[in-house]
Structure 1
Amino acid sequence: MAPSMSLPRSALMNVHLPYMVQYPASADYSTALKHGAEGFDRARQMIGFLFDIMDYESSVPQKLTLEDKKEKYTWNHSDNFPPHLAIIPEDHKLGSHEIFSIVRLVQTLLIVGGIRFDEGLAPGPQENSMEKLAKWNAKRHQSQGWIKDMFNEPNIGLRNDWYTDAVFAQQFFTGPNPTTITLASGTWMKRFTEEAASQAKREVVALFRSAPPHSFYVQDFSDFRDRMGANPDEELRSEDGTPRYGCASVALFYLPPNGKLHPLAIIPDYKGSMAASVTLFNKRVDPADESVDQANDWPWRYAKTCVLSADWAIHEMIIHLNNTHLVQEAVIVAVQRTLPDSHIVFRLLEPHWVVTLSLNALARSVLIPDVIVPIAGFSAPRIFQFVGHAFTNFDWKALYVPTDLESRGFPLDELDGDKFHNYAYAKDIKDMWMALRKFVSSVLRDGKYYPNDSAVAADAQIQDWCNEMRSEKGAGMKKFPKSISTLDDLIDMVTMCIHIAAPQHTAVNYLQQYYQTFVPNKPSALFSPLPTSLSQLESYTESDLMAALPLEAKQEWLLMAQIPYLLSKQVEQDGNIVTYAATASNNEDPIIAAAGRELSADLDNLASVFLENGQKLDDQNAEYNVLAPDQLANAIVI
């Protein structure tokens, strides 16, 4: 075995960590946010320091043999999380959770410690109306000093129309989670049609019958209970601190030929059947109907809040955490264990890893248990089962961008038409996938690497990678391919791994600041029980919606608002996909260099295409440029 300069993992017991600053309780909001941001950065630096000296993310890369890497990169199956890097061997007396508990002991994550004790840092019961909350939000943006915080950047609460149907619907096309809206199945259409008939909603039934085919879409979170291991009628709620409630919402939308997505019906909390659930229909069946006062339609506004709260859960725990961070870590560990550094697939994937392992370690030790769980509307066991289910059932091929869009009812050859002109995410992510796939294909199809399908099938190390991803002793991801035996299969999988780390994570991470720092738009949980009957929901007033917000739970409000700000840090120029392509253009391997030059040209072209896509949106109040190449992170770095 070749000698390694890597620090033995057992030596961590004697490592002196970078000095951490403990701030006193802050006297004002801006200072508290500044301390929070600094604390988060210091926590990241500390974890990064550990991973650097351990050579998992070394600033001085080490040349390790495959045998070295198999010994170094081992799996942890012993905690609540899906399989991940075992920082400390499982048979060692000091567990990884103990190594990182120092983060909690010294309160390095000051988003929890530094602002916890100041009662004046969040709106209180006196902001007991939506109008007052909007004014409070606007005032925070106006009274800015020299300290940069989340109120230096606009959020959705500054819009006079933030609560309207149009803005609500558009979030599912260009918001933090534009990935789950799906063509309504025949089953859902039958359910909603029967329910509309039973409630004598004749205008709705008429629309169902007269609309063109493929006009109805859903945000379907009805399976939350099943995925969490809960009974159909079980109340979803937290088990710690302030009572918080979750919901398994379903929202039905109408997408007419003009492309203006419009919500028609909402089930705030689906409990296994329509009979056991409450269904509310929008009074505004026609989106052009101005006879309804949207600002004061409190039952409907409450129902929309339920949908956005459920969307917060699926977005933060599954779409963002699991489907990018945790899945990418599985790829990193499996590839390190099965492919030597010289393997062309390793060389294509490795630049997109950067600090993912250390970030995930920080997330597992602090962010998830100490920040996400305490503000979610579900118990910790339910959350961990939710995430574990998503990880095990992550369907790699089904989530390839072209396949995913087609299966959700967005045909690739129709995306440029009027009907889908507001779905900028779909158009941008499709084009970015094609550009990345072209780059990967240009490299792998070269005769030096894989002259034909037989060369792929004969690559035992690629098959080892498949086995490592599927094995119960490895990642345990049963929907990873059993084998990769053709060039197209390999190109698609390598493209997918880059897609997860770069454009997909960028799309679902960097818009949180705008949409989520104004808590009423997308609360992480509800703070009062959900209605149990339609008559109860229809009687709701503004006070019922205000009771569902954390006005009496300042810590939860602050975390809901602060975390999106911390996680939406602007992408550095040296970490964007443009810089990656430029670096690849100068690679010592002429095959990669040539492909890199093509990628640079393609990205330059996509910059103008994406700008044009954004300019076609009906809503020009919130620009959609998150996937612009110069803003697209090359890896999961936050």
Structure 2
Amino acid sequence: MAVSRPKRSLARRAVAFVKRLIHKHPVPDLSLPVPTATQAASRPDKKTILKHPAKKDFLKQIVPEAVNDCPLPSFDPGIFHSELLDLKLYPEVDPNDPRKIREPEGNVREGTYLGTQLALTQAYERVEQTFNSLFDVLGIEPTFPRYVSLEQQRNLYQFTPYPNNADGTPADYPPHLQHIPVDKNHTVFGVFNNAGLLETAVILQKLIPDEDGFIGRTKQWLLEKARAAAYGGEPEKGITIQDVEDYNRFHRKVGTDIAGGGNIGLLDDWYSDRRFAEQQFTGTNPTTITQAGKQWIGEFLTAARIGGYNAWISALEAADPASLFVQDGSYFRDAVGVTDPTAALHHKQPGSDDNWCVGAVSLFQLHDDGKLHPVAICIDYRGSMEQSVTIFNKRLTPRDSTKTEKTDWPWRYAKTCAQVTDWMRHELTVHLTLAHLVEEAIIVGTNRSLPMEHPVYRLLSPHWYKTLSVNAAARATLVPQVIVDIVGISPEQCHSFIRHAYDTYDFVAHYVPNDLARRGFPNTAEGLSSSTRYRNYAYAKDVLALWTVLRSYVAEMLALSYPSDESVAQDRYIQSWCKEMRQGGAHMSSFPEIRDLESLTDAITMCIHTATSFHSAVNYLQNFYLAFVIAKPPMLCTAPPTSLSALQQMKEHDLVASLPINRQRQWLLSAQVPWLLSFRTPQDRSLLNYAASMWRVYKTKKGRREKMVAEASERLYARLRETQRVVWENSRAMEKGSLPYMVLDPGNTAVSILI
């Protein structure tokens, strides 16, 4: 006989129901750390870890059937290593006398475009690894920190001689770290004998076949196009700009840069006035466009009269002078040491092709609605407008019809000249010199002047990560083995160009507010946002916002150590630092004499800005704008016209001939430079991660000073997070159809010069 159970009360049943509900859907203990909703949503759970992938989804990621179609992001390191040995691409050291070293005897005679590209990427990574290892052992960039005294720092961090080498010859580069000890018998350096460094000095060149050594389908395609033009006697039957656009659209490789491998050539109007002007404000070099001033306005009026551009004479005379801006390459001949203003800038590197360089000057008008419009281009300034060739835009305003833009070959050629000039100025001066080499001088000068426990040293050192080894690799390989092969000036002239940029650099004038004012732009957030005129200059708005955030943080951190201006003036290490930078090995006379807290705050902010926001702005968009080589080539492949009539008669085949379209070797090198330098910033090396790391390290420390550091770091994080919104809003505020400009998002902005 069944025994009936007594009925539970309603209250007891309710409690049991709640217990079952809690057991089924447990809630986190709020007294413990709880992940954000985004983090929680991405975590695996018992359902996801037991879920088998659907067949359709799995088959999407299966490798292609044919091995030839398999994507190859890089060669297997072991295979690459073995191939270098098979090709004898290694130096040999005499076992009886380590000073005797034989250069690698091998050379790659033949190869495909893709294979060479992969080999170059992998070889350059190994070059960087070589210098990373060397600098680790020397204690310059150690894997684990090592405390050394100031005296030891001075012995370790020595400047190279400048402006001349010890033998009296001009130095190749501005003052930088003397990473090879003067005493070659130095015991630490013995670990890295000259063979290792010799290999870095030749390896890239030896991996690149000569032009005739390229094989594969792309080479065959180019040859067939060339034959069609040659045998038919009709240049227009050869390769066209449209052919190059189609090749870029369907055959380019996927990228790991901030733009995900996209490039400007994917836009139908990549060649247009709009895209050309847009790059002056948000391209790879948005840092040099400057108000034209009376001199250049007068020069272009002279050119308009010479060329008979009457409509432009009237327009320029009526224009507000403050609306006219230039990109000025007129100084190129002076910078490379050419005294004849009419001499052609031309060079042919052994084993390569004839290249030409030009010092173009471009005039723009900034309209009240924010549209920047190209007015005229002097394709190569030769001392005066009378001796130069200057062409004016057929379109007087950005609202004029764009129907003839695509086939206006003389104007497209002129814009190409302007892009060649900007490539040179950007890569060799703005990027290499004013970012990499200026920051290196700061790093070496600081290490020679400030002990490691000094508050300024501690504030600056996180922004030096990898920079010295990256720079050493660039000096050993990128410039002498790649850049000199694709520009229209000699190696000696390249070095002169770089030295000129360093020698004319003004540290204080490049503080962001000073720089904007110097170039004719408002230098406050209110000024840049007060009208639509500057709506498209997102770089100016973003970099000013970051400068303001960084300066606030620097001021807070310095206030912990310097209660007054007098305390700054009496800090002998700061005074030693200024002397080292101004009169010592750095040879940077524009570095400030620091006697008060305000000037110290500005100088430290500038040091950090150079390594972070400035370098990020001029580095991480390179692949997008430069990988489609014809949009911004490093050189001209034919001599520029020397008369306006010759320029005005140019056709498409003339433009094609001036571009490295039929030069696979130089195209590869031109595309490889931005590819190597544009890898996305690792998440753990961003400014935001720096702020979060500082806060997390200091948040549990008990001292009053430590708590203040934690609070300052938390405020830095909050301000950087708000700046992310500002960057997005500035990008969205640009006119419709503009390329988004997010490179200075603090989540993308690198904390140091990493590449």
TM-score, normalising length from structure 2? 0.78
The 1-side partners of 2:315 and 2:119 are apart by: 53
Q: Which residue, 550, 558, 566 being the options, matches 1:454?
A: 566
Whether contact under 8 Å (2:302, 2:385) holds in the other structure is no
Whether contact under 8 Å (1:577, 1:630) holds in the other structure is yes
Partner of 1:7: none
- What letter matches 1:318 in structure 2? T
The worse-fitting range, judged by mean Cα deviation, of 311-320 and 366-375 is 366-375
Whether contact under 8 Å (1:267, 1:277) holds in the other structure is yes
Aligned pair in 2 of structure 1 residues 104, 91: CA closer, same or farther (>3 Å)?
A: closer
Following superposition, the deviation at residue 46 of structure 1 comes to 2.0
Following superposition, the deviation at residue 44 of structure 1 comes to 1.6
Following superposition, the deviation at residue 444 of structure 1 comes to 0.8
Following superposition, the deviation at residue 586 of structure 1 comes to 3.1
Partner of 2:731: 614
- What letter matches 1:39 in structure 2? A
Following superposition, the deviation at residue 51 of structure 1 comes to 1.1
Partner of 1:518: 628
Whether contact under 8 Å (2:619, 2:677) holds in the other structure is yes
- What letter matches 1:440 in structure 2? V
Partner of 2:474: 363
Whether contact under 8 Å (2:130, 2:196) holds in the other structure is no
Whether contact under 8 Å (2:258, 2:620) holds in the other structure is no
The 2-side partners of 1:360 and 1:56 are apart by: 13
1:508-547 equivalences under 5 Å are 508-547=618-657
1:35-114 equivalences under 5 Å are 35-77=119-161, 78=165, 79-92=171-184, 100-105=197-202, 107=203, 112=208
Following superposition, the deviation at residue 202 of structure 1 comes to 2.3
Q: Which residue, 600, 607, 617 being the options, matches 1:507?
A: 617
The 2-side partners of 1:399 and 1:531 are apart by: 36
Larger radius of gyration: 2
The 1-side partners of 2:656 and 2:420 are apart by: 14
Following superposition, the deviation at residue 114 of structure 1 comes to 11
Following superposition, the deviation at residue 158 of structure 1 comes to 0.9
List runs of 5+ in structure 2 lacking aligned partners. Answer: 1-79, 88-107, 166-170, 226-237, 699-705
Do residues 466 (structure 1) and 578 (structure 2) align?
A: yes
Following superposition, the deviation at residue 616 of structure 1 comes to 1.5
- What letter matches 2:151 in structure 1? E
Percent identical across equivalent pairs?
A: 39
Partner of 2:51: none
Deviation by residue 1:199-231 (Cα, 9 ceiling, x = unmatched)? 332221222233334111100110111111112
Following superposition, the deviation at residue 590 of structure 1 comes to 3.2
Do residues 352 (structure 1) and 444 (structure 2) align?
A: no
The worse-fitting range, judged by mean Cα deviation, of 386-395 and 151-160 is 151-160
> How well do the aligned residues superpose, as a CA RMSD in angstroms?
2.4
Partner of 1:119: 215
The 2-side partners of 1:537 and 1:101 are apart by: 46
Whether contact under 8 Å (2:686, 2:746) holds in the other structure is yes
1:387-402 equivalences under 5 Å are 387-402=498-513
Deviation by residue 1:472-512 (Cα, 9 ceiling, x = unmatched)? x501112212x200111000000000000011100000001
Aligned pair in 2 of structure 1 residues 322, 423: CA closer, same or farther (>3 Å)?
A: same
Partner of 1:553: 663
The 1-side partners of 2:681 and 2:127 are apart by: 19
The 2-side partners of 1:556 and 1:176 are apart by: 21
Whether contact under 8 Å (1:112, 1:371) holds in the other structure is no
List runs of 5+ in structure 1 lacking aligned partners. Answer: 1-18
Following superposition, the deviation at residue 190 of structure 1 comes to 1.1
Following superposition, the deviation at residue 98 of structure 1 comes to 6.7
Whether contact under 8 Å (1:268, 1:303) holds in the other structure is yes
Aligned pair in 2 of structure 1 residues 280, 97: CA closer, same or farther (>3 Å)?
A: farther
Aligned pair in 2 of structure 1 residues 414, 152: CA closer, same or farther (>3 Å)?
A: closer
Do residues 408 (structure 1) and 516 (structure 2) align?
A: no
Partner of 2:272: 164
Q: Which residue, 397, 415, 429 being the options, matches 1:286?
A: 397
Q: Report SS of the residue matched to 1:601.
A: helix
Following superposition, the deviation at residue 103 of structure 1 comes to 1.7
Whether contact under 8 Å (1:393, 1:479) holds in the other structure is no
Whether contact under 8 Å (1:150, 1:565) holds in the other structure is no
Q: Report SS of the residue matched to 1:334.
A: helix
Following superposition, the deviation at residue 30 of structure 1 comes to 4.4
The 1-side partners of 2:212 and 2:139 are apart by: 35
Aligned pair in 2 of structure 1 residues 385, 21: CA closer, same or farther (>3 Å)?
A: farther
The 1-side partners of 2:443 and 2:211 are apart by: 35
The 1-side partners of 2:496 and 2:210 are apart by: 31
Aligned pair in 2 of structure 1 residues 116, 465: CA closer, same or farther (>3 Å)?
A: farther
Aligned pair in 2 of structure 1 residues 137, 592: CA closer, same or farther (>3 Å)?
A: same
The 1-side partners of 2:301 and 2:600 are apart by: 44
The 1-side partners of 2:736 and 2:277 are apart by: 11
Q: Report SS of the residue matched to 2:215.
A: coil
Q: Which residue, 359, 364, 377 being the options, matches 1:253?
A: 364
Aligned pair in 2 of structure 1 residues 149, 577: CA closer, same or farther (>3 Å)?
A: closer
Do residues 629 (structure 1) and 740 (structure 2) align?
A: no
Aligned pair in 2 of structure 1 residues 97, 301: CA closer, same or farther (>3 Å)?
A: farther
The 2-side partners of 1:238 and 1:498 are apart by: 37
Q: Report SS of the residue matched to 2:691.
A: helix
Q: Which residue, 681, 699, 711 being the options, matches 1:594?
A: 711
Q: Report SS of the residue matched to 1:265.
A: strand
- What letter matches 2:542 in structure 1? D
Aligned pair in 2 of structure 1 residues 270, 53: CA closer, same or farther (>3 Å)?
A: same
Q: Report SS of the residue matched to 1:244.
A: strand
Following superposition, the deviation at residue 514 of structure 1 comes to 0.6
Do residues 194 (structure 1) and 302 (structure 2) align?
A: yes
The worse-fitting range, judged by mean Cα deviation, of 21-30 and 293-302 is 21-30
Partner of 2:538: 424
Do residues 215 (structure 1) and 323 (structure 2) align?
A: yes
Following superposition, the deviation at residue 74 of structure 1 comes to 1.0
Following superposition, the deviation at residue 620 of structure 1 comes to 3.5
Aligned pair in 2 of structure 1 residues 243, 433: CA closer, same or farther (>3 Å)?
A: same
The 1-side partners of 2:733 and 2:577 are apart by: 43
Deviation by residue 1:522-556 (Cα, 9 ceiling, x = unmatched)? 00000100110111111111111111111332211
The 1-side partners of 2:134 and 2:205 are apart by: 16
The worse-fitting range, judged by mean Cα deviation, of 176-185 and 549-558 is 549-558
The 1-side partners of 2:618 and 2:581 are apart by: 24
Partner of 1:238: 347
Do residues 379 (structure 1) and 496 (structure 2) align?
A: no
TM-score, normalising length from structure 1? 0.91
Higher relative contact order (CA 8 A, sep 6+): 1
Whether contact under 8 Å (1:255, 1:262) holds in the other structure is yes
Aligned pair in 2 of structure 1 residues 619, 58: CA closer, same or farther (>3 Å)?
A: farther
Whether contact under 8 Å (2:111, 2:215) holds in the other structure is no
Following superposition, the deviation at residue 113 of structure 1 comes to 6.7
Q: Report SS of the residue matched to 1:87.
A: coil
Whether contact under 8 Å (2:209, 2:665) holds in the other structure is no
1:483-494 equivalences under 5 Å are 483-494=593-604
The 1-side partners of 2:637 and 2:684 are apart by: 42
Q: Report SS of the residue matched to 2:662.
A: coil
Following superposition, the deviation at residue 347 of structure 1 comes to 0.4
Aligned pair in 2 of structure 1 residues 333, 98: CA closer, same or farther (>3 Å)?
A: farther
